[in-house]
Amino acid sequence: MNEVIEELCRRSGGVVTRRQALQRVPRWVLDDAVRAGRLRRVLPGVYVAAGLIGEARSGMSPIQLLGPQPRRRAVLAHADGRVAFSHTTALDLWGLRQQPTAEVLHLTVPIGVGIRSQAGLTVHHRPAFTVGPPQVVVRDEAPVTRLERSLVESWPLLPAADRPAPLIRAVNDRRTNAVRISATLNELPRLTDRAALRTLLAKLAAGCRSQLEIWGHEHVFVGAGRPDFQRQYPVRLGGRTIYLDVYAERERIDFELDGAASHGSPAQREVDLRRDALLATVGIQVVRFAHRRLVHEPQQVRREILTILHRRRGYG
């Protein structure tokens, strides 16, 4: 390949626009590189180094054969500052869900911008949209819709089982909260399955911080005879704050919901024991329920909770 074009590719991660190339080399040099297969056109006026193109597959366009980063670079080069990544593509850039290579990229543009959906790209035209603050921020050198909007717009695009995880993670990381996400949901009254999202946000607002806690909220820590449990209740001890999964304040009992993956190792068990002992110094009893029992024996667990609460009250 021509040395000048090679240098352009190195500087731009393998993505070159026709305009950039023709500022440096004659037209025939660029056309020769394309004819020889050293550059591949993936979008109008946008080329990538052939080494970035994956194995050809039936029915897939060249843009679909690129990895996530080269594909994003190519889109940005084509859009020339007129788009922001959104929906499930934005979740990837926010670090909340890795987008599979085969999944389409989602872009949001202002009304009137002449960029259209095609194989591998879905373009959303939004009224009153501006590719800049406060609607858009920059992450990993790419414009992306703000966090709450990305979470809400992704909801109907994900499989039902995968929908809660990005929201739970975003709230757990204290990057947003249920109130701010709910305010964004109010801006999208036609969102598909918005009732289910509203239900999840109510559980997050109540303090649930994992799929297991949501299960407990719905199936275990409910019903007659149970106190008004507090979820993710903060206790300041030893210079740090400990958050209690499900706390009965009057009885001073912390019910911990141990996930299937996060509490199985000896090292994690040691951490749990030290934490439980520290809580015992201020009179808080810790009762742990394993993932298996919560999911497969909810009725028995409910009975045990009532018994523990009753006995604790008797000692008070």
- Position 94 scores a pLDDT of 97
Same domain, 30 and 58: yes
Instruction: Answer yes or no: do 200 and 217 share one domain.
Output: no
pLDDT tens, per residue, the chain with 316 residues: 678 888 888 888 899 999 989 998 999 999 999 999 889 999 889 999 988 887 767 677 888 888 888 889 999 999 988 999 999 999 999 999 999 887 899 999 999 998 889 888 999 999 999 999 999 999 988 999 999 999 999 999 999 989 999 999 999 899 999 999 999 999 999 999 999 999 999 988 888 888 888 878 778 887 777 888 888 899 999 888 998 989 999 999 999 987 654 545 688 888 889 999 999 999 999 999 988 888 889 899 999 999 999 888 875 5
d(CA 42, CA 37): 12
Q: How many domains does the chain have?
A: 3
Q: Which residues constitute the domain of residue 249? A: 211-315
92 and 144 together in one domain: yes
pLDDT value of residue 193 = 95
Q: Residues 138, 112: one domain? A: yes
pLDDT at 6: 86
Residues 160 and 135 in one domain: yes
Residue pair 271/280 in contact by the 8 Å Cβ criterion? no
238 and 219 in a single domain? The answer is yes
Which CATH number goes with the domain that contains 279?
Answer: 3.40.960.10
b/e code 182-201 from CB counts within 10 Å (16+ = b): bebbeeeeebeebeebeebb
Domain match, 242 and 296 both: yes
Whether 220 and 149 share a structural domain:
no
Q: Is there a single domain that holds both residue 122 and residue 13?
A: no
Same domain, 119 and 52: no
Among 172, 205, 238, which residue terminates a domain?
Answer: 205
16, 46, 72: which is the final residue of a domain? Answer: 72
Decide which of 55, 72, 89 is a domain's last residue: 72
Considering just the CA atoms, what is the radius of gyration of the chain in Å? 26
141 and 239 share one domain: no
pLDDT of residue 315: 59
Q: What is the structure's pLDDT at 150?
A: 98
Residues 89 and 197 in one domain: yes
Instruction: Find tokens 């701010």 and name the residue.
Output: 180
pTM, entire model: 0.75
Helix (H, G, I), strand (E, B) or coil at 106: strand
Output the six-digit token pair for 291.
């993932």
